Copies of this chain bind each other. A is one copy, B any other.
Amino acid sequence: MDLADLQRTIAATYGAQDRARGVDGTFAWFVEEVGELSRAIRREGHDERVEEFSDVLAWLVTLADLTGVDLAEAAKRYEHGCPKCAASPCRCAHADPTRP
């Protein structure tokens, strides 16, 4: 699944209604889906989790599109490992053992 293709498809599918609803309303809906993901993880099964993960991703993609962010370009920060310590596995916890 190519992330740029997904953003194009989601923009074509929801872009008009997202622009009509605006950024704040779209963010609110994204957060509603985050809540549904929490419930699926804590209390439901694999199929519900798959559905809620896909919904949260779709709302994140649509929110990126609405705010002028190319999510595939943004994701390149993580393409080679941790963007903070530049290592994979991440070594940030070695530098800061209080890191949760």
Which of B10, B21, B51 is within 8 Å of A100, CB to CB?
Answer: B21
Within 8 A of B (CB), among A21-57: 21, 23, 25, 27, 29, 31, 34, 38, 41, 46, 49-51, 53-54, 56-57
This protein's copies in its complex: 2
> Which of chain B's residues have a CB closer than 8 A to the CB of A17?
89-90, 93
State A25–B68 Cα separation when bound (angstroms): 31
> Which of chain B's residues have a CB closer than 8 A to the CB of A46?
68-69
Contact A88 B21, CB 8 Å, known A1-B4, A29-B100, A54-B74: no
- State how many residues of chain A have any CB contact under 8 Å with chain B: 56
> Which of chain B's residues have a CB closer than 8 A to the CB of A73?
1, 50
> Which of chain B's residues have a CB closer than 8 A to the CB of A2?
1-3
Contact, CB under 8 Å: A6 / B71: no
Contact A72 B1, CB 8 Å, known A25-B100, A56-B60: yes
